[in-house]
Amino acid sequence: MVGYAYAVLFRKRPAYRYTAKHSIYVHHEQLGRGVGRRLLQELIDACAAAGFRQMIGYIDADNAPSLALHEKFGFARAGLLCGVAYRHGRWSDTVMVQRSLGAGTTAPPPVTASGR
Ligand SMILES: CC(C)(COP(=O)(O)OP(=O)(O)OC[C@H]1O[C@@H](n2cnc3c(N)ncnc32)[C@H](O)[C@@H]1OP(=O)(O)O)[C@@H](O)C(=O)NCCC(=O)NCCS
Protein backbone atom coordinates (compact mmCIF):
# COMPACT_ATOMS: atom_id res chain seq x y z
CA MET A 1 0.00 0.00 0.00
CA VAL A 2 1.38 3.42 -0.95
CA GLY A 3 -1.40 5.51 0.51
CA TYR A 4 -5.09 5.81 1.16
CA ALA A 5 -7.85 8.36 1.14
CA TYR A 6 -11.40 8.22 2.40
CA ALA A 7 -14.43 10.39 3.01
CA VAL A 8 -17.13 10.27 5.67
CA LEU A 9 -20.20 12.38 6.35
CA PHE A 10 -19.19 15.85 7.57
CA ARG A 11 -21.85 15.59 10.27
CA LYS A 12 -24.42 12.92 11.05
CA ARG A 13 -27.49 15.19 11.19
CA PRO A 14 -29.58 14.81 8.00
CA ALA A 15 -29.18 18.42 6.87
CA TYR A 16 -25.47 17.80 6.30
CA ARG A 17 -25.89 14.71 4.12
CA TYR A 18 -24.50 16.42 1.01
CA THR A 19 -21.22 17.36 2.67
CA ALA A 20 -18.25 15.01 3.03
CA LYS A 21 -15.18 15.26 5.24
CA HIS A 22 -12.06 13.58 3.90
CA SER A 23 -8.57 12.43 4.83
CA ILE A 24 -5.59 11.46 2.71
CA TYR A 25 -2.33 9.77 3.69
CA VAL A 26 0.67 8.73 1.60
CA HIS A 27 3.33 6.31 2.88
CA HIS A 28 6.40 8.26 3.97
CA GLU A 29 8.60 6.36 1.49
CA GLN A 30 6.27 7.31 -1.39
CA LEU A 31 6.00 11.06 -0.87
CA GLY A 32 6.44 13.42 -3.80
CA ARG A 33 5.71 10.84 -6.50
CA GLY A 34 2.21 11.91 -7.46
CA VAL A 35 0.36 9.43 -5.24
CA GLY A 36 -1.44 12.15 -3.27
CA ARG A 37 -2.53 13.90 -6.44
CA ARG A 38 -4.01 10.68 -7.85
CA LEU A 39 -5.72 9.75 -4.58
CA LEU A 40 -7.29 13.18 -4.15
CA GLN A 41 -8.55 13.31 -7.73
CA GLU A 42 -10.13 9.85 -7.35
CA LEU A 43 -11.71 10.85 -4.06
CA ILE A 44 -13.13 14.09 -5.46
CA ASP A 45 -14.59 12.19 -8.42
CA ALA A 46 -16.05 9.49 -6.16
CA CYS A 47 -17.62 12.02 -3.79
CA ALA A 48 -19.13 13.95 -6.71
CA ALA A 49 -20.48 10.73 -8.21
CA ALA A 50 -22.00 9.82 -4.85
CA GLY A 51 -23.95 13.09 -4.87
CA PHE A 52 -21.96 15.11 -2.36
CA ARG A 53 -21.96 18.88 -3.03
CA GLN A 54 -19.21 20.00 -0.63
CA MET A 55 -15.93 18.52 0.57
CA ILE A 56 -14.27 19.64 3.80
CA GLY A 57 -10.74 18.93 4.99
CA TYR A 58 -8.94 19.72 8.24
CA ILE A 59 -5.23 20.35 7.76
CA ASP A 60 -2.57 21.20 10.33
CA ALA A 61 -1.52 24.82 9.70
CA ASP A 62 2.14 23.74 9.46
CA ASN A 63 1.42 21.05 6.85
CA ALA A 64 2.62 22.91 3.76
CA PRO A 65 2.50 19.87 1.43
CA SER A 66 -1.14 19.13 2.21
CA LEU A 67 -2.17 22.79 2.04
CA ALA A 68 -0.47 23.08 -1.36
CA LEU A 69 -2.02 19.85 -2.61
CA HIS A 70 -5.53 20.95 -1.63
CA GLU A 71 -5.08 24.43 -3.06
CA LYS A 72 -4.05 22.82 -6.34
CA PHE A 73 -7.34 20.90 -6.37
CA GLY A 74 -9.49 23.96 -5.84
CA PHE A 75 -9.94 23.85 -2.07
CA ALA A 76 -10.24 27.31 -0.50
CA ARG A 77 -9.34 28.14 3.08
CA ALA A 78 -12.63 28.34 4.95
CA GLY A 79 -11.44 28.90 8.49
CA LEU A 80 -8.71 28.66 11.09
CA LEU A 81 -9.17 26.71 14.31
CA CYS A 82 -6.60 27.98 16.80
CA GLY A 83 -4.78 25.70 19.23
CA VAL A 84 -7.04 22.70 18.70
CA ALA A 85 -4.21 20.13 18.59
CA TYR A 86 -1.34 19.43 20.98
CA ARG A 87 1.59 17.53 19.55
CA HIS A 88 5.36 17.53 19.87
CA GLY A 89 5.10 19.71 22.96
CA ARG A 90 3.09 22.59 21.48
CA TRP A 91 -0.35 23.71 20.46
CA SER A 92 -1.15 23.62 16.75
CA ASP A 93 -3.72 25.38 14.60
CA THR A 94 -5.91 23.62 12.05
CA VAL A 95 -6.95 25.06 8.69
CA MET A 96 -10.38 24.13 7.34
CA VAL A 97 -10.43 23.81 3.56
CA GLN A 98 -13.50 23.43 1.36
CA ARG A 99 -14.48 22.97 -2.25
CA SER A 100 -17.78 22.43 -3.97
CA LEU A 101 -18.63 19.45 -6.14
CA GLY A 102 -20.94 19.20 -9.13
CA ALA A 103 -23.60 21.89 -9.01
CA GLY A 104 -22.46 22.92 -5.53
CA THR A 105 -24.92 25.41 -4.08
CA THR A 106 -26.22 26.59 -7.45
CA ALA A 107 -29.02 24.01 -7.53
CA PRO A 108 -31.02 22.12 -4.92
CA PRO A 109 -30.27 18.43 -4.39
CA PRO A 110 -32.27 15.90 -6.38
CA VAL A 111 -35.70 15.11 -4.98
CA THR A 112 -35.69 11.77 -3.19
CA ALA A 113 -38.52 9.33 -2.55
CA SER A 114 -38.91 10.78 0.93
CA GLY A 115 -39.26 14.26 -0.58
CA ARG A 116 -36.68 15.76 1.84
C1 LIG B 1 -0.10 15.74 1.75
C2 LIG B 1 0.27 14.42 1.05
C3 LIG B 1 -0.96 13.54 0.97
C4 LIG B 1 0.80 14.71 -0.36
O5 LIG B 1 1.03 13.45 -1.01
P6 LIG B 1 2.18 13.26 -2.12
O7 LIG B 1 1.96 11.95 -2.78
O8 LIG B 1 3.52 13.48 -1.51
O9 LIG B 1 1.86 14.47 -3.12
P10 LIG B 1 2.12 14.50 -4.69
O11 LIG B 1 3.48 13.95 -5.00
O12 LIG B 1 0.95 13.88 -5.40
O13 LIG B 1 2.12 16.07 -4.96
C14 LIG B 1 0.90 16.75 -5.30
C15 LIG B 1 1.04 18.21 -4.90
O16 LIG B 1 1.13 18.34 -3.48
C17 LIG B 1 1.99 19.43 -3.15
N18 LIG B 1 3.16 18.94 -2.44
C19 LIG B 1 3.53 17.65 -2.27
N20 LIG B 1 4.65 17.60 -1.50
C21 LIG B 1 4.97 18.87 -1.21
C22 LIG B 1 6.01 19.47 -0.43
N23 LIG B 1 6.94 18.74 0.19
N24 LIG B 1 6.02 20.82 -0.30
C25 LIG B 1 5.08 21.58 -0.90
N26 LIG B 1 4.07 21.07 -1.66
C27 LIG B 1 4.03 19.73 -1.80
C28 LIG B 1 2.39 20.07 -4.45
O29 LIG B 1 1.44 21.05 -4.77
C30 LIG B 1 2.27 18.89 -5.41
O31 LIG B 1 2.08 19.29 -6.73
P32 LIG B 1 3.35 19.38 -7.73
O33 LIG B 1 3.96 18.02 -7.74
O34 LIG B 1 2.72 19.76 -9.04
O35 LIG B 1 4.25 20.42 -7.17
C36 LIG B 1 1.41 13.74 1.82
O37 LIG B 1 2.43 14.71 2.09
C38 LIG B 1 1.02 13.07 3.14
O39 LIG B 1 0.41 12.01 3.15
N40 LIG B 1 1.43 13.64 4.26
C41 LIG B 1 1.24 13.03 5.56
C42 LIG B 1 -0.22 12.90 5.94
C43 LIG B 1 -0.95 14.17 5.80
O44 LIG B 1 -0.46 15.23 6.17
N45 LIG B 1 -2.17 14.05 5.28
C46 LIG B 1 -3.03 15.18 5.08
C47 LIG B 1 -3.86 15.41 6.29
S48 LIG B 1 -5.07 16.64 5.90
CA of 68 to the centre of ligand 1 (A): 7
In angstroms, what is the span from residue 82 Cα to ligand 1's centroid?
23
- Integer-rounded Cα Rg, in Å, for the chain is 16
Contacts of the segment 42-45: beta carbons below 8 A, 24+ positions apart: 42/5, 43/5, 43/6, 43/7, 44/73, 44/99, 44/101
> Which residues line the pocket of ligand 1, CB cutoff 6 A?
23-26, 31-37, 57, 59, 63-66, 68-69, 72
The CATH number, out of the four listed (3.40.30.10, 3.40.50.2000, 3.40.50.360, 3.40.630.30), of the domain defined by the range 3-100: 3.40.630.30
Q: Please check whether residue 55 is in contact with residue 99, taking contact to mean a CB–CB distance below 8 angstroms.
A: yes
Residue 32 — left, alpha, or beta (φ > 0 → left; ψ -120 to 50 → alpha)? Answer: left
Taking only the tens place, the pLDDT of each residue in 38-51 is 999 999 999 999 99
Per residue in 60-102, pLDDT tens? 999 999 999 999 999 999 999 999 999 999 999 999 999 999 9
Q: Where are the domains of the chain?
A: 3-100
